[in-house]
């Protein structure tokens, strides 16, 4: 949801003639003295990674979600190792961002929480990632001989 709202806020305000202006929705909201409340993120580091690498890539017909290879290249370049669920969450957020960019809507997106802000999903994935760390290390018989 956070990524969709970021895309919506970055969208252009339509003028009286119905054509997009050079003012974004976020700029218009600030100019009007308002604020947009974004969902609370349970993993703000993932949102930071997505912002750092860019929410999307440029495709032949416009913005497209970040590919697995592009995300892998960013991880290698930044020397970041992502858990499987983090990798999937970043890709899902990028897809949600691109989906929102292509929707023609004047109302902000609300609805289902995404992987970056749903505490139940996040807690389950963190527990699964950390459960592997608590297992004892098995030594091979060759190492003890």
Q: What angle do CA 63, 67, 69 make, to 5 degrees?
A: 140
Residue where the block lists tokens 């290390």: 137
The residue-averaged pLDDT of 64-88 equals: 94
CA distances (Å), origin 51, targets 5, 87, 93: 13, 14, 11
Of 4, 9, 3, nearest to 23 (Cα)?
9
Among 22-26, 86-90, 108-112, the least confident range: 108-112
What pLDDT is stored for residue 78 in this prediction? 94
What pLDDT is stored for residue 82 in this prediction? 93
The residue-averaged pLDDT of 81-86 equals: 92
**Separation between Cα atoms, residue 46 and residue 116, nearest integer Å:** 7
pLDDT tens profile 20-53: 788 888 888 888 887 777 777 888 899 999 999 9
Q: Where are the domains of the chain?
A: 2-131
Burial class (CB in 10 A: 0-12, 13-18, 19+), 93: buried
What pLDDT is stored for residue 133 in this prediction? 59
Give the residue with greater pLDDT, 72 vs 139.
72
Among 15-29, 56-70, 74-88, the least confident range: 15-29
Residue 53 main-chain phi, psi, to 5 deg: -85, -15
pLDDT at 68 > cutoff 70: yes
| Tokens found for residue 145 | 């001989």
What pLDDT is stored for residue 72 in this prediction? 95
Give the residue with greater pLDDT, 76 vs 2.
76
The residue-averaged pLDDT of 80-100 equals: 91
**Separation between Cα atoms, residue 50 and residue 139, nearest integer Å:** 39
Residue where the block lists tokens 């969902």: 39
């Amino acid at each position: 949801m956070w990524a969709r709202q970021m895309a919506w806020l970055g969208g252009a305000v339509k003028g009286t003639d119905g054509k997009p202006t050079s003012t974004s929705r976020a700029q218009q909201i600030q100019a009007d003295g308002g604020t947009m409340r974004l969902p609370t993120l349970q993993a703000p580091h993932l949102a930071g990674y997505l912002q750092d690498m860019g929410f999307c890539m440029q495709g032949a017909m416009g913005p497209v979600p970040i590919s697995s290879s592009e995300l892998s290249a960013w991880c290698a370049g930044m020397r970041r190792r992502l858990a499987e669920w983090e990798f999937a969450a970043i890709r899902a957020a990028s897809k949600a961002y691109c989906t929102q960019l292509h929707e023609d809507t004047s109302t902000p997106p609300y609805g289902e929480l995404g992987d970056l802000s749903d505490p139940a999903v996040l807690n389950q994935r963190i527990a699964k990632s950390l459960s592997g760390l608590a297992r004892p290390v098995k030594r091979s018989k060759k190492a003890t001989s």
